[in-house]
C-alpha cells in the first residue's frame, strides 16, 4: 500500500493571482469605500437638516423686528425716557449679535443681507448720540428720533424677511444635496451588486476548474500507485533530509520492512549498511548544501544494502530527484542482484576453470611434444650417422624409411607444438627481409620430386612485375606455402600445379592452383579447422593428421593476412594467401648469392649437454668433420671446463640439471676463464623468436634447433653453407643413383655424368639461343634428356624436362618459356648434387 502517493505528483507552480481577479477585487473595494463615504455624507446632511440652529436664527431675526417695534412704539413726546433707552439697548444688542455671532456667519455672506445689516448698523451709530444725550436733549429730539425710526423701519423688516428667504433657499439646497447623495448611493450599491454578481460567476468557474483538477490529480495518483505497486524494482522516495516518504511493495519485499514502519524514518538508518553510513551521510549533507550529486541522475550503480534482518546484499540502484512544493525529493529504484552476482561469480569461476583446464592441456601437450622430440632427435641423429657408415643398398633403404617415418613423426609433433604455442598466444611474427623468389624456388624444388612421381607439372611465376625482397616472417611463410604446394602436389595426379605470386600496394598474394581432385563443398567450410581431412579414398591413402591447413591458417593470421580456398570437384582447387608486405632492401646475409663459403680449420669444441644420446650424435657429427670434441654433462661442469681450457666453440644445451644453459653462458662470459670469449651456440628444441632474443641477451652468439642437422651445424660453425648429401633428396633420388653407380662403377659414372652434362648444357644453350624454336623439337629434346636424367636419379631436373615436354606438346608457350628459364639453375644444382653424392659414396 502506498501512503500519500499523491505527494509524488510534483506541483512546482505556485497559486498566482490573475489580473482579472485583481481588477475585480480592487473595483469591489472601491465600490465598498464609495458606499461607506456616501452613507456617511447622507447621514451628516440629514443631521444638518435636522439641526435646530436655523429655527434659532430665524427666531432671532424676527425678534429683532419685534424689539424694533418695541423701541419705536415708545418714541413719542413725553415718553418714558428710561424705557426708550432700555428698548434701544435691546435692539442695539440684538443687531450686534446678528453682526458678530457665528450662527449668522452664513447669512452675513449674502450680499443683500450684509448691505441691509450695514445700513441698520450705520443707523444705530447715528442714533446712539441722541439716545445717550441728556434727558432734555433726548426729549427735545424725540420728533427727530421718530423721523429716524420711520426711515429705518423698512430696512429692519427687510432684514427680518431676508433671513427667512435665505433659510428657505438653504433648506432647498440641502434637500437636493441629500437627494443627489442618495442617488449616488443607489448607483454605488448597484455597482457593488454587479461586482458581487461577477465575483460569484468567477468563483463558480474557479470551483469547476478546481474540481476538474482534483479529479485529474486523483487519476494521476491512482496511475502512479498502480505503477509503484506493480513495479518489480523497489521504489523508495525520501525528502532532502533523508526521511522516507514512500516505500513500495517491492521495496517491502526486498528489505523485509513494512511501509508503515519505515515511513518518516531516516533512510540511511534503515537500508544503508553500517560500513557505508559515513559515506551516505556525507553524500546527503553534500546534496543538502547544493553540492555535487554523485549518484543522483547518474544511471544504474551497484552498491550494498541492508535488510531488516541485518543481512547485507548487493543492489543495483538508480536515483532521480524532483522538485515539489514541499521541497526536493529523491526517488530510488532498487533491484536485488544477489542472484545475478552469484551467477556472474559462477560464470567467472567456470571460465577460470576452463582456462586453467585449457592451459594445463596446452602445457601437457607442449611438454609431451617437447619430451617426444628429444628421443626422436636422438634416433634421427643416430640414423644420420649410421647412413654415413658403409651400408648395403637394402640397409640404406630401410634406414631411409626409418628416417622418413621419424621425420614425419617429428613433423606431427612440431605441428602439435605449433598449435599449442599459437593457442596460448606465444607465437609472434619475426619480420625480416625475405627473398620471395628464392623462397618459392626452394619450395618448388623440394616438391618437384614428388610432382614428377605424380607425373604432375609444377611451376611458379610472378603476376606483374617481380618484387623479390619483401618484409615478412620467412619461416612462417615458408611453412604455409610448403604446406599448400605440398597438398596441391599430393592431391594432383597427372595434372598441373602452378604458383602465382603478385605484389601490389604493400600486399603480396600467392595463388596455389592445381588441377587435382578438388575439395567437396561441405569440406571447404571446415578445411582450415583442426584435424579435418577429406574422406576420399586417396585421402586415406596419403594419410595426414588434418593439421596442416589449420596451422597454415594460424600462421597466416600471425602475419596479419587471410587465407581462403575455391574448388570445383574434379577440376581442381585454388588456395589464395594474402599478406601485408612492404618492400625490403636486399640483405647480404639473406642473399644466398652473396653467401661466401667459409671453410674452417679443425676447431676445439665443447659440448655441454646432459642427454647422452644427443651428446653422442653431435660428437660424431663434429668428429666426422675433423673437429676436437670435449664433453660436459651439465652446466656447472661446462663452466669449469670453459674456465680451464680455451675452446673455439661451445655448444650449450638449455635445460640441464645443476646449472641451466643460460646461467652457464653468463658465468662463462663473466669469468676471466680461458674460454670467456669463445663462440657459444645454444642447442634448443624451442626456437621461438622471443627465446632466441633471450638467448642472445644471455651472451650466446647463435641458436641451433634440435634435431640437429649436419648442415645447420656446419653453417653455424662458419663452414661451407652446403647441404649434406642427404639434403639433396629434393633434387636426386639416392637409391636410383646408387643403383646406377653400383652397376657402372664410380669411374664410369663420372664419365657418363660428364658426357651427360655436356649434352644438357648443349641443349640449354640451344634453348636459350635466338634460333626459332620448334615446339615438336623442344618436346623431343626434353624427352631425350629427361630419359638420361632418370638414369642418374636427377628427379627434379627430370620432372622439369617432362613438364617442358608436355607444355611444348600442348602448345602452352608461356609455360615452355618458364620451364626453359628455370632449367640452367636447376641443372647446375642437380649436377653439383650428383657429383658430391658420387664422391662420398
Out of 487, 781, 803, 822, which residue is the one contacting ligand ADP (CB under 6 A)?
487
Nearest residue (CB) to ligand ADP, 414 versus 835:
414
Q: Is 495 in the site for ligand ADP (CB under 6 A)?
A: no
To which residue does cell 443607489 refer? 186
Give the nearest distance from C-beta 452 to ligand ADP in angstroms: 18
Out of 485, 527, 617, 837, which residue is the one contacting ligand ADP (CB under 6 A)?
527
Exposure string (b/e) for 229-265, b if CB count within 10 Å is 16 or more? eeeebbbbbbbeebebbbbbbbbbebbebebeebbee
Nearest residue (CB) to ligand ADP, 517 versus 820:
517
Q: Is 539 in the site for ligand ADP (CB under 6 A)?
A: yes
Nearest residue (CB) to ligand ADP, 398 versus 531:
531
Residues contacting ligand ADP: total by CB under 6 A: 21
Cα gap 410→416, rounded to integer Å:
10
Give the nearest distance from C-beta 563 to ligand ADP in angstroms: 11
Give the nearest distance from C-beta 493 to ligand ADP in angstroms: 11
Nearest residue (CB) to ligand ADP, 28 versus 544:
544
290: left (phi over 0), alpha (psi -120 to 50) or beta: left
Give the nearest distance from C-beta 820 to ligand ADP in angstroms: 27
Of 310-318, 481-489, 587-595, 605-613, the segment contacting ligand ADP by CB under 6 A is: 481-489
Q: Quick one: how far is CA 11 from the chain centroid?
A: 38
Residue 320: beta bridge partners?
Answer: 331
Helix (H) or strand (E) holding 835: helix 813-840
Give the nearest distance from C-beta 512 to ligand ADP in angstroms: 7
Residue 652: beta bridge partners?
Answer: 608, 682
Q: Is 545 in the site for ligand ADP (CB under 6 A)?
A: yes
Of 235-243, 515-523, 634-642, 655-663, the segment contacting ligand ADP by CB under 6 A is: 515-523
Q: Is 485 in the site for ligand ADP (CB under 6 A)?
A: no
Cα gap 716→687, rounded to integer Å:
15
What's the CA angle centered on 180, arms 178 and 185, to 5 degrees?
90
Q: Is 680 in the site for ligand ADP (CB under 6 A)?
A: no
Q: Is 488 in the site for ligand ADP (CB under 6 A)?
A: yes
To which residue does cell 512546482 refer? 12
Q: Is 524 in the site for ligand ADP (CB under 6 A)?
A: no
With a CB cutoff of 8 Å and minimum separation 6, the contacts of 810 are none
Give the nearest distance from C-beta 569 to ligand ADP in angstroms: 9
Out of 72, 116, 248, 573, which residue is the one contacting ligand ADP (CB under 6 A)?
573
Of 71-79, 273-281, 380-388, 547-555, the segment contacting ligand ADP by CB under 6 A is: 547-555
Nearest residue (CB) to ligand ADP, 436 versus 549:
549
Least Cα distance to 561 among 484, 636, 654 occurs for 484
Give the nearest distance from C-beta 557 to ligand ADP in angstroms: 15
Least Cα distance to 723 among 450, 528, 446 occurs for 446
- DSSP letter for each residue of 89-150: HHHHHHHHHHHH-GGGHHHHTSHHHHHHHHHHHHHHHHHHHHHHS-HHHHHHHHHHHHHHHH
- For residue 786, count other CB atoms closer than 10 A to its CB: 20
> Rounded to 5 degrees, what are φ and ψ at 258?
-95, 145
Of 295-303, 338-346, 397-405, 525-533, the segment contacting ligand ADP by CB under 6 A is: 525-533
Q: Is 454 in the site for ligand ADP (CB under 6 A)?
A: no
Cα gap 460→322, rounded to integer Å:
77
Of 152-160, 170-178, 300-308, 537-545, the segment contacting ligand ADP by CB under 6 A is: 537-545
Helix, coil or strand: residue 67: helix
With a CB cutoff of 8 Å and minimum separation 6, the contacts of 472 are 429, 431, 432, 434, 508, 559, 579, 581
Q: Is 514 in the site for ligand ADP (CB under 6 A)?
A: yes
Q: How far, in Å, are 54, 62, 105, 106 from residue 57 at the CA level?
A: 5, 9, 11, 11
What's the CA angle centered on 452, arms 451 and 454, to 5 degrees?
65
Cα gap 657→508, rounded to integer Å:
46
Helix, coil or strand: residue 577: strand
What's the CA angle centered on 101, arms 99 and 102, to 5 degrees?
125
**If you ran DSSP here, which 8-state letter would residue 305 be given?**
E
Q: Is 195 in the site for ligand ADP (CB under 6 A)?
A: no
Nearest residue (CB) to ligand ADP, 233 versus 418:
418
Q: Is 723 in the site for ligand ADP (CB under 6 A)?
A: no
Sign, CA dihedral 583-585-588-592, equals positive
Give the nearest distance from C-beta 486 to ligand ADP in angstroms: 8
Q: Is 519 in the site for ligand ADP (CB under 6 A)?
A: yes
Q: Is 548 in the site for ligand ADP (CB under 6 A)?
A: yes
Q: Is 75 in the site for ligand ADP (CB under 6 A)?
A: no
Give the nearest distance from C-beta 562 to ligand ADP in angstroms: 17
Give the nearest distance from C-beta 689 to ligand ADP in angstroms: 24
Q: Is 516 in the site for ligand ADP (CB under 6 A)?
A: yes
Q: Is 544 in the site for ligand ADP (CB under 6 A)?
A: yes
Nearest residue (CB) to ligand ADP, 537 versus 601:
537
Q: Is 458 in the site for ligand ADP (CB under 6 A)?
A: no
Out of 443, 517, 579, 649, which residue is the one contacting ligand ADP (CB under 6 A)?
517
* Preceding amide of 707 cis, omega within 30: yes
Nearest residue (CB) to ligand ADP, 517 versus 606:
517
Helix (H) or strand (E) holding 234: strand 234-239
- DSSP letter for each residue of 734-770: HHHHHHHHHHH-HHHHHHHHHHHHHHHHHHHHHHHSS
Cα gap 540→543, rounded to integer Å:
5
Nearest residue (CB) to ligand ADP, 534 versus 824:
534
Out of 247, 330, 491, 749, which residue is the one contacting ligand ADP (CB under 6 A)?
491
Least Cα distance to 691 among 277, 270, 366 occurs for 366
Give the nearest distance from C-beta 415 to ligand ADP in angstroms: 7
Out of 27, 148, 187, 532, which residue is the one contacting ligand ADP (CB under 6 A)?
532
Nearest residue (CB) to ligand ADP, 228 versus 419:
419
Q: Is 481 in the site for ligand ADP (CB under 6 A)?
A: no
Nearest residue (CB) to ligand ADP, 303 versus 532:
532
Nearest residue (CB) to ligand ADP, 435 versus 567:
567
Cα gap 473→584, rounded to integer Å:
12
- DSSP letter for each residue of 662-704: HHHHHHHHHS--TTTTSEEEEEES---HHHHHHHHHTT-SEEE
Q: Which residue stretches of 334-434 are H helix?
A: 338-387, 393-423
Give the nearest distance from C-beta 409 to ligand ADP in angstroms: 14
Of 1-9, 104-112, 302-310, 486-494, the segment contacting ligand ADP by CB under 6 A is: 486-494
Nearest residue (CB) to ligand ADP, 161 versus 574:
574
Q: Is 547 in the site for ligand ADP (CB under 6 A)?
A: yes
Give the nearest distance from C-beta 561 to ligand ADP in angstroms: 17
To which residue does cell 486523483 refer? 218
Of 8-16, 238-246, 442-450, 511-519, the segment contacting ligand ADP by CB under 6 A is: 511-519
- Given a contact cutoff of 8 angstroms between Cβ atoms, the answer to whether 467 and 535 are in contact is no
Q: Is 549 in the site for ligand ADP (CB under 6 A)?
A: yes
Q: Is 447 in the site for ligand ADP (CB under 6 A)?
A: no
Q: Which positions lie near ligand ADP, rule CB under 6 A?
A: 483, 487-488, 491, 514, 516-517, 519, 527, 532-534, 539, 544-550, 573
Amino acid at each position: 500500500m502506498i501512503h500519500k502517493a499523491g505527494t509524488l505528483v510534483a506541483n512546482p507552480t505556485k497559486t498566482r493571482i490573475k489580473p482579472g481577479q485583481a481588477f475585480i477585487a480592487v473595483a469591489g473595494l472601491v465600490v465598498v469605500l464609495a458606499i461607506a463615504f456616501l452613507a456617511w455624507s447622507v447621514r451628516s446632511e440629514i443631521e444638518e437638516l435636522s439641526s435646530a440652529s436655523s429655527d434659532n436664527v430665524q427666531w432671532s431675526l424676527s425678534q429683532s423686528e419685534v424689539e424694533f417695534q418695541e423701541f419705536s412704539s415708545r418714541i413719542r413726546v413725553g415718553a418714558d425716557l428710561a424705557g426708550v433707552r432700555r428698548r434701544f439697548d435691546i435692539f442695539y444688542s440684538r443687531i450686534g449679535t446678528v453682526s458678530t455671532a457665528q450662527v449668522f456667519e452664513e447669512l452675513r455672506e449674502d450680499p443683500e443681507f450684509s448691505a441691509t445689516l450695514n445700513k441698520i448698523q450705520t443707523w444705530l451709530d447715528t442714533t446712539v448720540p441722541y439716545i445717550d444725550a441728556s434727558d432734555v436733549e433726548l426729549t427735545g429730539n424725540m420728533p427727530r428720533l421718530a423721523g429716524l425710526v420711520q426711515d429705518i423701519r423698512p430696512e429692519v423688516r427687510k432684514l427680518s424677511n431676508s433671513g427667512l428667504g435665505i433659510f428657505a433657499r438653504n433648506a432647498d439646497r440641502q434637500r437636493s444635496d441629500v437627494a443627489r447623495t442618495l442617488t449616488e448611493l443607489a448607483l454605488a450599491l448597484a455597482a457593488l451588486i454587479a461586482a458581487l454578481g461577477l465575483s460569484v460567476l468567477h468563483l463558480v468557474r474557479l470551483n469547476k476548474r478546481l474540481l476538474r483538477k482534483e479529479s485529474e490529480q486523483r487519476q494521476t495518483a491512482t496511475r502512479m500507485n498502480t505503477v509503484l505497486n506493480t513495479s518489480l524494482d523497489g521504489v523508495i522516495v525520501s525528502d532532502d533530509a533523508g526521511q522516507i516518504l514512500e516505500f513500495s511493495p517491492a521495496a517491502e519485499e526486498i528489505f523485509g520492512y513494512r511501509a508503515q514502519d519505515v515511513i518518516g524514518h531516516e533512510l540511511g538508518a534503515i537500508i544503508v549498511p553500517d560500513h557505508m553510513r559515513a559515506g551516505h551521510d556525507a553524500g546527503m549533507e553534500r546534496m543538502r548544501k547544493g553540492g555535487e550529486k554523485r549518484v543522483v541522475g547518474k544511471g544504474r550503480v551497484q552498491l550494498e544494502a541492508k535488510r531488516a534482518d541485518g543481512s547485507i546484499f548487493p543492489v543495483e540502484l538508480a536515483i532521480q530527484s524532483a522538485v515539489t512544493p514541499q521541497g526536493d525529493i529523491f526517488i530510488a529504484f532498487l533491484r536485488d542482484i544477489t542472484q545475478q552476482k552469484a551467477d556472474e561469480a559462477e560464470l567467472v569461476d567456470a571460465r577460470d576453470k576452463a582456462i586453467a583446464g585449457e592451459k594445463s592441456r596446452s602445457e601437457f601437450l607442449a611438454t609431451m611434444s617437447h619430451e617426444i622430440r628429444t628421443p626422436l632427435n636422438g634416433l634421427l641423429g643416430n640414423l644420420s650417422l649410421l647412413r654415413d657408415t658403409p651400408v648395403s643398398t637394402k640397409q640404406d633403404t630401410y634406414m631411409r624409411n626409418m628416417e622418413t617415418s621419424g621425420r614425419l613423426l617429428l613433423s606431427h609433433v612440431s605441428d602439435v607444438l605449433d598449435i599449442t604455442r599459437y593457442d596460448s598466444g606465444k607465437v609472434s611474427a619475426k619480420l625480416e627481409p625475405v627473398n620471395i623468389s628464392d623462397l618459392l624456388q626452394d619450395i618448388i624444388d623440394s616438391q618437384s620430386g614428388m610432382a614428377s612421381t605424380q607425373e604432375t607439372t609444377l611451376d611458379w611465376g610472378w603476376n606483374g612485375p617481380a618484387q623479390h625482397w619483401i618484409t615478412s616472417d620467412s619461416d612462417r611463410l615458408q611453412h604455409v606455402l610448403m604446406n599448400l604446394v605440398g597438398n596441391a602436389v599430393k592431391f594432383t595426379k597427372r595434372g598441373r600445379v602452378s604458383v602465382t605470386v603478385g605484389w601490389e600496394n604493400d600486399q603480396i598474394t600467392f595463388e596455389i592452383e592445381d588441377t587435382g581432385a578438388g575439395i567437396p563443398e561441405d569440406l571447404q567450410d571446415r578445411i582450415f579447422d583442426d584435424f579435418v581431412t577429406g574422406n576420399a579414398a586417396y585421402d586415406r591413402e596419403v594419410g595426414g593428421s588434418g593439421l596442416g591447413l589449420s596451422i597454415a591458417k594460424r600462421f597466416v593470421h600471425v602475419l596479419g593476412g587471410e587465407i581462403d580456398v575455391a574448388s570445383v570437384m574434379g577440376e581442381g582447387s585454388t588456395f589464395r594467401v594474402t599478406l601485408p608486405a612492404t618492400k625490403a632492401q636486399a640483405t647480404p646475409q639473406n642473399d644466398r648469392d652473396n653467401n661466401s663459403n667459409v671453410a674452417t680449420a679443425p676447431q676445439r669444441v665443447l659440448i655441454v649437454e646432459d642427454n647422452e644420446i644427443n651428446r653422442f650424435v653431435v660428437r660424431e657429427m663434429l668428429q666426422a668433420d675433423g673437429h676436437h670434441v670435449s664433453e660436459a654433462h651439465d652446466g656447472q661442469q661446462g663452466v669449469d671446463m670453459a674456465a680451464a681450457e680455451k675452446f673455439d666453440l661451445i655448444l650449450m644445451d638449455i635445460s640441464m640439471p645443476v646449472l641451466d644453459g643460460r646461467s652457464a653462458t653468463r658465468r662463462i662470459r663473466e669469468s676471466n676463464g680461458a674460454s670467456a670469449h669463445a663462440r657459444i651456440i645454444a642447442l634448443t628444441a624451442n626456437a621461438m623468436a622471443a627465446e632466441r632474443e633471450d638467448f642472445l641477451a644471455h651472451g650466446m652468439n647463435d641458436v641451433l634447433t634440435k634435431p640437429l642437422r649436419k648442415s645447420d651445424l656446419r653453417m653455424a660453425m662458419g663452414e661451407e653453407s652446403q647441404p649434406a648429401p642427404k639434403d639433396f633428396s629434393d633434387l636426386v633420388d639416392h637409391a636410383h643413383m646408387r643403383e646406377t653407380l653400383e652397376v657402372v662403377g664410380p669411374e664410369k659414372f663420372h664419365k657418363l655424368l660428364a658426357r651427360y652434362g655436356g649434352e644438357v648444357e648443349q641443349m640449354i644453350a640451344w634453348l636459350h639461343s635466338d634460333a626459332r624454336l620448334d615446339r615438336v623439337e623442344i618436346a623431343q629434346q626434353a624427352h631425350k634428356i629427361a630419359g638420361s636424367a632418370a638414369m642418374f636419379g636427377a628427379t627434379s631436373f627430370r620432372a622439369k624436362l617432362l613438364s617442358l615436354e608436355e607444355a611444348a606438346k600442348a602448345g602452352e608457350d608461356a609455360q615452355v618459356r618458364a620451364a626453359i628459364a628455370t632449367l640452367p639453375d636447376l641443372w647446375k644444382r642437380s649436377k653439383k648434387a650428383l657429383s658430391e653424392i658420387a664422391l662420398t659414396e
